[in-house]
Structure 1
């Protein structure tokens, strides 16, 4: 229809693909006809321990929700800075890592210009670039999920910003120091997304002092269990952070997120204990998955495990788990054919998952032998 409101929309947005999110337990329970308490979400790498008890207590006691948050993030940046051993001038907080990814794109990449991306990886980089009228030059990872550095360096002249991830989502593999050094040597800004760094026990944040083109993005969604409150932070050269503070949304970090963050850092021993428990459970889950016929787990440094299935249809496994109220992620792209990604849960959740997987694999194998058609 000519002359309608859609004629005024920017053309690149009319055909922009949507980001594919995961659904909340309440929605899943309604669609599946199951009690919400029976839903086991292992599809979004959320922390099944939940927030710190001190964070929950602080949220209940706070009375300032009718007041706008501090646009200068003074106390928040001071607290986050102490955690990573930087002064507040080295940091900017945002509404989760996603806002900070978008901020980096706005800072460095004009419309029509490109980012350098290494799939399979987090889909938010290309999604946000698309919405901003930017392009992505994708250099596919090698079979071992490392970066094809020769191809990456060849693509550098056509790009304005590099996104790397450590550990990478969905593979769970780490960015090596040699890979990072090669990317930094290009002179382009390099964003290292460290959403899962606490589970790996290592970070490239200390190198920000040595490299003005290194930007590290962290979050409290995973290790601190605050995914629903949306709180992340960026570490970079103070001269860049001064500009970032001027051009970012001034009130994007809401009061509840700030209250929960400050309280979480008063409960670090417990939160670190939970991280250690998740890492331990990750190794147990990996061993249990490897014991299932046709399951090949990729060694992970994050709070999830990527699994390749051989001789079994991953899509069927995911669908049958879903019928039981267990949610995991399914991948079937040219780079990840017939793969599943499973978030690490609590021990009892691991037991429920593995028992269901064993039952499903046995049934699928029996159906294959008998020639029973699968739904």
Structure 2
């Protein structure tokens, strides 16, 4: 019996998603102690979680008991944070799970999702997993979305879902509120992924519920330093969220994540101070990168900076930095092959990166 013949042909042919290598694996691969590695390739928070979150994880007494399937402690805390009612909030094992649930809810095989690349890779990946069809409307040269071209594609393809991050990954640009309001006129569900919203200070979360086809996704991975616990959530109109509750796994948020999420939301002054530090470092890093010959950094409203390099040196520079214990992101995607993306670190980390970039720049 050939088991391979039982596998869905479309999934057998699917290109796997390429995740970031874990910290421990990087340490082993590079032959460097973990404390010597500067990891700026995954937009993680260099300041880490709130001390209250770590304490809450350590002190939670009931890990032998299944978690609350209704996620009520975390959803109530999020209602206060977002200004949205509990009834419009659904938590997931990272916002990736909410993306997956939305795909499974709306897409039959062949149904269309529209995105605007370059952008977050999970939208096209998950579309393929459920047998949907991705339609891409490329961004303009300045990374802005061509809203009218996108609207035309939605109408032409009868798309069911549109996924747009704001700020966008990998460039950090924000989608104007007026553009989102224009897209909400379309006969499709518009999903705005606000994973980096705390760094931009801009959000359309207040429109959820007023627009029946708007969903906003958020995460604790970036601003709250909890990427390792996988806590995402969606702000979702009631006519949609009631069906998502039917298909989500019953115990999808573990109690360590709930405890850490609630404690983080109770420690906003500390965490938002860290956000302010990252934003200040982002601006300092951007200004310094502009002075390096052959580097073109793009303005960002997130916690990372995309840089275009001349002469196709991006991959070589990424590998050279890696040998020095500095991890940055390089892309092989069209339009990005001569780019690297650097997550904003703490001041000393950023100083080291700038020093190494200056040194290496003279070698290429």
Name the TM-score, length of structure 2 as normaliser.
Answer: 0.97
CA distance in 2: counterparts of 1:17 and 1:193, whole angstroms? 23
State the Cα distance separating 1:312 from its structure 2 match: 5.8
- The answer to whether the Cα contact below 8 Å between 1:199 and 1:279 also exists between their aligned partners in 2 is yes
Which structure 2 segments of 5+ residues have no match? Answer: none
- The answer to whether the Cα contact below 8 Å between 2:330 and 2:337 also exists between their aligned partners in 1 is no
Structure 2 residue aligned with 1:373: none
State the Cα distance separating 1:335 from its structure 2 match: 2.1
Structure 2 residue aligned with 1:105: 103
State the Cα distance separating 1:40 from its structure 2 match: 0.9
Aligned pairs (5 A) from 1:169-318: 169-311=169-311, 313-318=313-318
Structure 2 residue aligned with 1:372: none
CA distance in 1: counterparts of 2:361 and 2:20, whole angstroms? 24
In structure 2, the residue corresponding to 1:283 is in which secondary structure? Answer: helix
- The answer to whether the Cα contact below 8 Å between 1:139 and 1:152 also exists between their aligned partners in 2 is yes
Structure 1 residue aligned with 2:52: 54
State the Cα distance separating 1:333 from its structure 2 match: 2.9
| 326-335 or 126-135, which deviates more | 326-335
State the Cα distance separating 1:45 from its structure 2 match: 0.1
Structure 2 residue aligned with 1:82: 80
CA distance in 1: counterparts of 2:332 and 2:294, whole angstroms? 16
Deviations 1:37-63 (CA, angstroms, capped at 9, x unpaired): 111110000000000000011111112
Number of equivalenced pairs? 362
Aligned Cα root-mean-square deviation (Å)? 1.1
- The answer to whether the Cα contact below 8 Å between 2:107 and 2:130 also exists between their aligned partners in 1 is no
Structure 2 residue aligned with 1:44: 42
State the Cα distance separating 1:146 from its structure 2 match: 1.1
In structure 2, the residue corresponding to 1:31 is in which secondary structure? Answer: helix
In structure 1, the residue corresponding to 2:141 is in which secondary structure? Answer: coil
Structure 2 residue aligned with 1:124: 122
Given candidates 24, 29, 32, the residue that maps to 2:30 is 32
State the Cα distance separating 1:103 from its structure 2 match: 1.0
- The answer to whether the Cα contact below 8 Å between 1:288 and 1:354 also exists between their aligned partners in 2 is yes
Moved over 4 A (4+): none
CA distance in 1: counterparts of 2:334 and 2:220, whole angstroms? 32
Deviations 1:154-179 (CA, angstroms, capped at 9, x unpaired): 21131111011100000100011222
- The answer to whether the Cα contact below 8 Å between 1:69 and 1:255 also exists between their aligned partners in 2 is yes
State the Cα distance separating 1:82 from its structure 2 match: 0.8
Structure 2 residue aligned with 1:371: none
Are 1:163 and 2:163 counterparts?
yes
Structure 2 residue aligned with 1:370: none
- The answer to whether the Cα contact below 8 Å between 2:312 and 2:337 also exists between their aligned partners in 1 is no
Structure 1 residue aligned with 2:357: 357
- The answer to whether the Cα contact below 8 Å between 2:111 and 2:133 also exists between their aligned partners in 1 is yes
Which structure 1 segments of 5+ residues have no match? Answer: 365-375
CA distance in 1: counterparts of 2:209 and 2:131, whole angstroms? 32
CA distance in 2: counterparts of 1:312 and 1:239, whole angstroms? 49
CA distance in 2: counterparts of 1:246 and 1:82, whole angstroms? 25
Deviations 1:204-247 (CA, angstroms, capped at 9, x unpaired): 10011320100000000000000000001100112221221121
State the Cα distance separating 1:328 from its structure 2 match: 0.3
Deviations 1:102-123 (CA, angstroms, capped at 9, x unpaired): 1111121111111001000000
CA distance in 1: counterparts of 2:199 and 2:148, whole angstroms? 29
CA distance in 2: counterparts of 1:208 and 1:87, whole angstroms? 10
CA distance in 1: counterparts of 2:4 and 2:255, whole angstroms? 36
Name the TM-score, length of structure 1 as normaliser.
Answer: 0.95
